[in-house]
Amino acid sequence: MLDRLPDLVNADANLVRRGRFVSTTFLVAIDDADYLVRIAEGRVAGVTPGPFITPNYSFALRASRESWDKFWQPLPPLGFTDMFALVKNKLMRVEGDLHPLMANLLYFKDVLASLRKEAR
């Protein structure tokens, strides 16, 4: 799923422009499977699947596969439309240095939502 992220984000010129000041690596956990997503000036420079011994990232988004699968549906069901909906219902854990995330919240939300564009 996440392997589609570079193509989807980097093809969206306006999304890349909005993220032009973002350079960081964040972690997405789907159940126990970790992925490091490296962002360089708004472009997805790489998605590296784990496992990792000493993963180095700013912030992490952790949820079950079941939750992510619902979140990434083209029209997500009630309660799965947004990361804060998952957080409020204790289905997602957001941790680490949240500054890059919160300072670019709409950008990161749209990066994650880009995976809704087409069914797997």
Q: Is 89 in the site for other proteins (CB under 8 A)?
A: yes
Query: Is residue 63 packed enough to be buried (19+ CB in 10 Å), middle (13-18) or exposed (0-12)?
Result: buried
Among 9, 61, 63, 83, which residue sits at the site for other proteins (rule: CB under 8 A)? 83
- Determine the Cα–Cα distance for residues 1 and 37; give it in Å rounded to an integer: 12
Structure tokens at 69: 């699968």
Contacting residue, 53, 75, 118, 120, with other proteins by CB under 8 A: 75
Q: Which of these ranges, 31-39, 48-56, 58-66, 84-92, lies near other proteins under the rule CB under 8 A?
A: 84-92
For binding to other proteins (CB under 8 A), which residues are involved?
75-76, 78-79, 81-85, 87-89, 98-99, 102-106, 109
